[in-house]
Every structure is written in structure tokens, then in C-alpha cells.
A and B are shown apart, each in its own frame.
Chain A
Amino acid sequence: MRLLFIIMLALVLAAGVGVGLTWTTTTRGTELGTLTIGAWTARPRTGTSDIDPYSRATITRNGELPIGTGDGVAFTASADDKKKALDGRCDVVVSGVTPPARFWTLTLYDKQGHLVANTLERYGFTSQEIVRGADGGFEIRIASRSRAGNWLPTGGIERYALMLRLYDTPVGVATRTKRDAPMPAIATVGCP
């Protein structure tokens, strides 16, 4: 009787620990193979056959299709440069320069990875449609109410993530530092 109890306890503990760990690693993600520059994080290896098992599990669980290395690389940010989580009720400015690439797109997603509805049908910007300053730099204002210039509406949602995708770019598995890939700055400039 006692032996049975002990075996049961061990098995329940094993199931709890095992499934719990799997759940947290596939929802929160791991540090494995990540490239972090400023507020931006990419996993260049997810687009190759060398993808780590954790990323594979996450991708199949969420139903994503990772961007292939010959196609481009995707950087995500869910906090600003001061590590403050991106809030759709605040004004956030993304500015500066992007790494070399033939095209890039910046898109706003909710926490599930879906686009956020707005009357403008504006879900992001491409490198061609953006309004630039005289020096070639750009500034994107992310806010719930309309703003001048490159305005990206948040729909007032509490938490969101930005994804900067570079297409046909030398940035990839070999990239290590900011010098190879200068990423735009993200700053929260005002909260109501």
C-alpha cells in the first residue's frame, strides 16, 4: 500500500513537472539561439534545418510558419528600450535606421499574433511607403489616437508586440552585434 502511494506520488510529480516545463518553455520561449539587439529579438536558426527543439515545439504548437533564411529574418519586440512593456494606450516612437535589406516591414500584433482591427486598415508599414526625413531616417508613432506622419494605430489594446521583418538581407545566423544590424530605437514618449 505504501509502495503504491510512493510510486503514484512520483508519477504525478513527474507528469506535473514535465508537462509544466514544456508548457512554460513553449509559451514563454527560451533563450536558445536568440539574437538580441536593443529591444529586438530574433531567432535566425528557426528558418534553417538547425532549428532547436524548443523553437520547433513552439512553432508547431502555435501553427506558425517560420520565415526561411533565404527569404529573410524576423525581429520581435514586446518592450521598449527601457524594458517597459509596450502599451497600446501610450505613445510609442520607433525611430532610427534599419539593417541592410532590400525590403522591410514593421507590423503590430496582439499577444496571440493576430492583427489588430482599426478603421484605417493600417496594420504596419513597408520600407517603401514610409515617410522619411531629409537624412533618410524615419519615425513611426504608435498610438491609439491619430498622429501626424507615420501613424500606426494600436486599437487601444493593452499589450502588443512589434515585428520587424527584413527581406533579402545579410542579417542572419552569423550576425552577432549592433554593428552588423543597427536596429531602430523604441521609446515610450507619453502615457495618458
Chain B
Amino acid sequence: MIRLVFTIIAGVLLGGVVHLVSVLALPRIATQDAYSRLTPITKLNAVTVLPPADPSNTLMPYLDPAFATAVCRYDLSGGPIKLTVPVSQAYTSVSFYTRNELAYYAINDRSAGRKVIELDLMTEAQHNELPEDEEVTSADRLIIDSPSTTGLIVLKALAPEPGLMPQAQATMAASKCAVQVEEPQPKQAVAPAPVPAPAPAARGKR
């Protein structure tokens, strides 16, 4: 009898361990997570505009139907990624997720403070490899460190009224997400940047 009681106690305790392990392991073993759902319909290191959220679209739960959404599925193993998102009339935001849907960074058009949101995404190792002087000029650029080599960038533009949806979709279609090709390339990209920037407070970062 006492042995049975011990067995039950041991079973329940072991059950607690199983529970904790399974909760912690779930993000790694889930096969129906957002990244896996988006993989077949998105291109790697390029912007894909998602179909509008409506009742027939069961791609992901809890999509906001007032937004045009685009996804850039990234892989940083080929080098850092440069992201350019034109700002729509109402509200535009860029959110970064790791491979396991950890939302590690998000920024909106106002905190970016420009007409175009320009970001460089790289791993911590790639950030450390940047030359020193590059670091100085890069004060003008926003560099984001990705905790994982792969992940998702989600771009969203608000259509405050249904009639403005085509405009929001066009904003998304005009955004770019691509691997930076050569090392000198970013320097050239930095040089012309201050020219359109003299607008007031264009340098405000966050």
C-alpha cells in the first residue's frame, strides 16, 4: 500500500518535471509556429507582401485586418541585411523576431524619425567585425543586433480606412530587404544619406 502511495507521489513529481521540460522545449519543437507557416510562402532575404487578413485567410491567428503586412524571412549567414521601408501616411512599423518568434526589437515610423526607415540587421559577431571608423559614421545608421542567424522581419502599414488599403499595400511592396553585397557599399550608401536629411530633427533616433 505504502509502495503505491510512493509510486503516485513519484509519478506526480516526475510529471512536474515533464511539464517544465515540455513547456521549455515547445518553442524549439513546435512545427506549426509562425516561422514554419510563413516559410512556404515567403522568399529568403526578400520582402513578401502577405495576402490581406480576411476570414478565408487562416495563415496565422490574430492578424490585424487594418494593416497591410509584409515579411522578410532573413538568414544572416551570407552577411548583414539592409532594410529600407518607406513610411506610409498613417503609421508604419517594423518588428524583428528570432527563429523562435521572440520579439526582440520593434520600431515605428515616429521613433525612426524619417520619411524612410533604414536599418542594418546583423549578428553580434558581424557587428563586432565592423571597422572602427565605420562605427563613427554609423551613428547615422541604425544597427540592430539579431540574437539568432535566422528570423523574421515583419513590416506593417496601417490603412486607417478600408479605402486606404491599396496605398498601404503599395508602401509594403516598395520596401526592400537584401543582403549587403560588398564592404565598401555601405560607405557609399552613408555618404548621400545626409543630403536628404537636413530636414529638422531628421537625426532623432529613439
Q: Is A114 a contact of B154 with CB atoms below 8 Å?
A: no
Residue of B nearest to A54 (CB): B23
A147 at the interface (CB under 8 A from B): no
Q: Is B65 a contact of A13 with CB atoms below 8 Å?
A: no
Q: Is A70 a contact of B105 with CB atoms below 8 Å?
A: yes
Bound-state Cα–Cα, A71 to B21, Å: 31
Residue of B nearest to A113 (CB): B61
A9 at the interface (CB under 8 A from B): yes
Chain B residues with Cβ under 8 A from A51's Cβ?
Answer: 102-103
Bound-state Cα–Cα, A71 to B159, Å: 15
Q: Is B19 a contact of A21 with CB atoms below 8 Å?
A: yes
For window 21-63 of B, CB contacts with A under 8 Å fall at 21-24, 26-27, 30, 32-34, 36-37, 53-58, 60-63
Q: Is B15 a contact of A64 with CB atoms below 8 Å?
A: no
- Mark A11-22 against chain B: 1 for CB-CB distance below 8 A, else 0: 111111111011
Bound-state Cα–Cα, A51 to B106, Å: 15
- Nearest CB of B to A130, in Å: 10
B169 at the interface (CB under 8 A from A): no
A173 at the interface (CB under 8 A from B): no
A68 at the interface (CB under 8 A from B): yes
- Nearest CB of A to B7, in Å: 5
Chain B residues with Cβ under 8 A from A59's Cβ?
Answer: 27, 33-34, 101
Q: Is A60 a contact of B26 with CB atoms below 8 Å?
A: yes
- Nearest CB of B to A115, in Å: 5
Residue of A nearest to B33 (CB): A60
Q: Is B152 a contact of A10 with CB atoms below 8 Å?
A: no
A184 at the interface (CB under 8 A from B): no
Q: Is B19 a contact of A13 with CB atoms below 8 Å?
A: no
Q: Is A64 a contact of B107 with CB atoms below 8 Å?
A: no
Chain B residues with Cβ under 8 A from A67's Cβ?
Answer: 95, 103, 106
Most-contacted residue by chain B among A15, A105, A113, A126 (CB, 10 A): A126
Return the contact of B3 from the options A6, A18, A123, A165 (Cβ within 8 A). A6
Chain B residues with Cβ under 8 A from A112's Cβ?
Answer: 58, 61
Q: Is B54 a contact of A102 with CB atoms below 8 Å?
A: no
A69 at the interface (CB under 8 A from B): yes
For window 111-154 of A, CB contacts with B under 8 Å fall at 112-117, 121, 123-124, 126-129
Chain B residues with Cβ under 8 A from A81's Cβ?
Answer: none
The 9 closest A-B pairs by CB, nearest first: A18-B18, A68-B106, A17-B15, A113-B61, A13-B11, A14-B14, A70-B106, A128-B160, A117-B55
A-to-B contact residues, CB < 8 Å: 6, 9-19, 21-22, 25-26, 46-49, 51, 53-54, 56-57, 59-72, 74, 102-103, 105, 107, 109, 112-117, 121, 123-124, 126-129, 163, 165, 167-168
Given contacts A13-B14, A18-B15, A113-B61, 8 further A-B contacts (CB under 8 A): A10-B11, A18-B17, A56-B100, A60-B26, A60-B27, A109-B61, A127-B160, A168-B91
B-to-A contact residues, CB < 8 Å: 3-4, 7-8, 10-19, 21-24, 26-27, 30, 32-34, 36-37, 53-58, 60-66, 90-91, 93, 95-97, 100-108, 110-111, 147, 152, 154, 156, 158-162
Q: List 11 A-B contacts (CB under 8 A).
A: A17-B19, A18-B21, A60-B26, A63-B34, A68-B106, A70-B106, A107-B64, A109-B61, A123-B65, A165-B64, A168-B108
